[in-house]
Copies of this chain bind each other. A is one copy, B any other.
Amino acid sequence: MTVPSEMKALLLVGDGYTRTPSGSVLEAMEPYLEPGSIAVPTPGPTQVLIKVSLASINPSDIAFIKGQYGQPRAKGQPAGFEGVGTVVASGDEPYPKSLIGKRVAFATGVSNWGSWADYAVAEAAACIPLLDTVRDEDGAAMIVNPLTALAMFDIVKQEGEKAFVMTAGASQLCKLIIGLAREEGFGPIVTVRRDDQIALLKALGAAHVLNEKAPDFKTALREVMKTEQPRIFLDAVTGPLASAIFDAMPKRSRWIIYGRLDPEATVIREPGQLIFQHKHIEGFWLSEWMRQFRDRRGPAILEAQKRFSDGRWSTDVTAVVPLAEAMARLPAELAKPNGKVFIRP
């Protein structure tokens, strides 16, 4: 396959980390990204070059382009942590070479060469050769959400209690976890911000869906915590909502933070609970989990592909936006609830 020397991409405007953190909403593209043409990158010895078919947009991408994610931006490089495409070139090592011609799901967190471009570079180890039965939309969103879902639900299962809590319950990630939980008889307690999400999430398998905007939210929260005694709290938002939930949870609870959707201050309401009730506060990051639990990675990948192949999992698509229209359309598409937005180069 002939690879051109130049390509189109959405390039990072900022460098490193921001000094002025903002919320999780992408209010406009221009402060963070600009469209441009750059040289098609050359893969290193352990890497592959991928012709991108479809790139996904995750909350972590938004945090990253704003300079408030766990790794620094490199100004002028393409953004985008995840996608699906075909390997068209590789480094010299045997495994990268073996991927040439294959359709793969890929993550660019380690290579730091983004997927919102005609071509992307990924570590061969961060590529998943896909079964033909997996749709592009599912392959493009296979790593960040599905593996995180399997990993975090693994934590819930190891803890053992059937009840557990999640904020941002209507997110794609939480829906995946709710499905896993239902299959194994667990009862997720989730928070949402709109009443119209309640029936949807209950139908998926949530045991309790609490609207954080409802006037009786605090009473309902305390009641559910008292009845269900959840010990694990998977938190995407932090801020006052998360503080209130953790405060209401019973002895030996673990507040596991994996996202920071609310920029408001995150207060430990009763530090005495950490002392006398043995509560913990910790974080979850997929990269860290994969580093610590290498033996869990392979089975999780296989499990994800099976689930997308047989239809137990399916990615809700809000929009597929051509790369050339991304600057104009992304903020509005991302503002719509309940599905994922993709970029098609």
Enumerate chain B residues within 8 angstroms of A279, measured Cβ to Cβ: 283
Instruction: Determine if A266 and B271 form an interchain contact, defined as CB atoms under 8 angstroms apart.
Output: yes
Instruction: Determine if A271 and B257 form an interchain contact, defined as CB atoms under 8 angstroms apart.
Output: yes
User: How far, in Å, is A250 (CB) from chain B's closest CB?
Assistant: 14
Enumerate chain B residues within 8 angstroms of A284, measured Cβ to Cβ: 275
Instruction: Name the residue among A68, A266, A288 with the largest chain B CB count within 10 angstroms.
Output: A266
Instruction: Name the residue among A260, A268, A271, A284 with the largest chain B CB count within 10 angstroms.
Output: A271
Given A70-B276, A281-B280: A260 and B267 interface contact (C-beta under 8 Å): no
Report the copy number of this chain in the oligomer. 2
Instruction: Determine if A285 and B275 form an interchain contact, defined as CB atoms under 8 angstroms apart.
Output: yes
Instruction: Determine if B266 and A268 form an interchain contact, defined as CB atoms under 8 angstroms apart.
Output: yes
User: How far, in Å, is A300 (CB) from chain B's closest CB?
Assistant: 19
Q: Is the CB of A196 closer than 8 A to any CB of chain B? A: no
Task: Choose one: B71, B268, B277; the contact of A281 (CB below 8 Å).
Answer: B268
CA distance A282 to B272 in the complex (A): 10
Instruction: Determine if A283 and B288 form an interchain contact, defined as CB atoms under 8 angstroms apart.
Output: no
Cβ-closest chain B residue relative to A292: B278
Instruction: Determine if A288 and B281 form an interchain contact, defined as CB atoms under 8 angstroms apart.
Output: no
CA distance A7 to B271 in the complex (A): 37
Enumerate chain B residues within 8 angstroms of A275, measured Cβ to Cβ: 70, 257-260, 283-285
CA distance A69 to B272 in the complex (A): 8
